Structure formats: structure tokens, C-alpha cells
Amino acid sequence: MTPPFPTGPKCSMKIDVLTLFPEMFAGPLDVSIVARARKAGLLDLRVHNLRDWTHDRHKTVDDRPFGGGAGMVMKPEPLFEAVEALAGERTHIVLLGPAGRPFSQAVARELAQREHVVFICGSYEGVDERVREALADDELSIGDYVLTNGGLPAMVIIDAVTRLLPGALGDDQSAADESFSHGLLEYPHYTRPAEFRGMKVPDVLLGGHHAEIEKWRASQAKQRTAERRPDLLNEQLEQPRGGDDQPPQN
């Protein structure tokens, strides 16, 4: 994985990815905030080719499904060997797949508190069930659709989690009041010019009255959430007071 990023003692999080397509990860995690977090030693990210834990000359990682049927299934042996080689006491093993619990900002906050996470990227029809039963601590899905492999889900989740690492976003303020941070969609943003093609910026934002601005933003966030994602408002009602940052139960 290019470029070589230092792994400092102050590294707040270590992530290992197990995939059949390590080359997929070149690019998205080498730019912007994730690259900066890696350079600053906030994130120690390593992408591994699962075939490195095979022992036959064909580097076999899949086989035909018992009971017949189309497609191939990922064998348990390479996955168990790889995870056991990478995992420590407090490592959290996450399998990525459509059967997983929905990934969300709340789950991103949960994962950002972990010291070490290993992501298992599925391929083909999926992994042998014994991986889910006996190896993975958790299973996450990024959405109800079927992808070719778990690489993109891993990158999506690593991006969302890295932004939440202390110091990753520069002023930590910006992670606090964004979409889903209070379970609501974000208020509208405007920047110069104050008028563009006849479209004006709301006066309240030009008045400098911070209390007025905060009130307007809060009402906009609620209104927008009610219009576009009323389900989020119900979720909010179900939330125990004080948000959902419960420390992860091992």
C-alpha cells in the first residue's frame, strides 16, 4: 500500500483489512483526511491479501458450496489463519456483508473508540458460515444491495470512522455538529456571494446574531429531517437521553 505511513506510539487506531483485492484500496485512503490521519499517526491502516494465508500453489481461497448451487464460497481456513495472525486481545473482528447490522454514524462512533479492528471483506457468494459463527465479533452492512466484494464497504466505513478520530478533522468542533451527530440531517450551508443568479442567502445568516443563527439552524435541521427522513425523528424518540455513545461491550 503506497505511500508508507509512519505508525507512531500515539496511533489512536489500528485497522487491518483482509481482502482478495488489495489493489482496490490504492487511492481512496491515500488522499485528504484519511491520508492526513495516517501521516499524523492517528490511524495505522494495513491492507492484506488473504491469499497470503493459503498454502497450496493455486492459493485457493474459495470452493463449491455444499448442497450445490451457483457460485463459490470463501473457505474458512485462510480467514481463520489470517485473523488469528493479526488479532490481539482487544481486537474487534468485523465481517462485511448484506446480512450485517446497518452501518450508521452511531456505529462509526462506536468503532472509533476501538484500538484495533480487523475487517473481513467477503467475495463470491459470501463466506463459510463458520466464519460468521466462530470468528467474527460483528457483521456490518452499508446498505441493502449486493456488491461484488466487501472492499468498498470497508473503505466507506474506514472513511467515516477516521473522521471521528481525535485530531483527524483539525478543529474537533466540526465533527460535533454535522449530519446525524444529533440524529438530525444538517441545516443548509451558504457561502459567498450573498446573492447568486438572484438567489439570496437568508438574511438571518447575514445579521451576525449568533443566537438567532443557531435557532434558525436548529429549526432548519428539524424541518429538513421531518421532510426527508422522518424515520430519523422516530429513532431520536427511541434513543435513551444523552445519545448512544455507550462504550462498546466486548
Interface residues with ligand 4FV (CB under 6 A)?
A: 96-98, 122-124, 126, 141-143, 145-147, 149-150, 153
Specify the 3-state DSSP secondary structure of 49.
Answer: strand
Q: Which residues, 6 or more positions from 116, have their beta carbon under 8 angstroms from its beta carbon?
A: 13, 14, 15, 16, 87, 88, 90, 91, 92
Q: Which is nearer to ligand 4FV, 142 or 161 (CB)?
A: 142
Q: Which is nearer to ligand 4FV, 146 or 199 (CB)?
A: 146
Q: Name the minimum Å distance from CB 122 to ligand 4FV.
A: 3
Q: Which is nearer to ligand 4FV, 66 or 145 (CB)?
A: 145
Q: Which of 32, 3, 69, 7 is nearest to 162 (CA)?
A: 32
Displacement of CA 207 from its chain's centroid (Å): 38
Q: Which is nearer to ligand 4FV, 31 or 146 (CB)?
A: 146
Q: Name the minimum Å distance from CB 104 to ligand 4FV.
A: 13
- Name the residue number minimizing CB distance to ligand 4FV: 122
Q: Which residues, 6 or more positions from 46, have their beta carbon under 8 angstroms from its beta carbon?
A: 1, 14, 15, 16, 17
Q: Name the minimum Å distance from CB 222 to ligand 4FV.
A: 30
Q: Name the minimum Å distance from CB 197 to ligand 4FV.
A: 40
Q: Tell me the chain's radius of gyration from C-alpha atoms.
A: 21
C-alpha cell at 109: 462512533
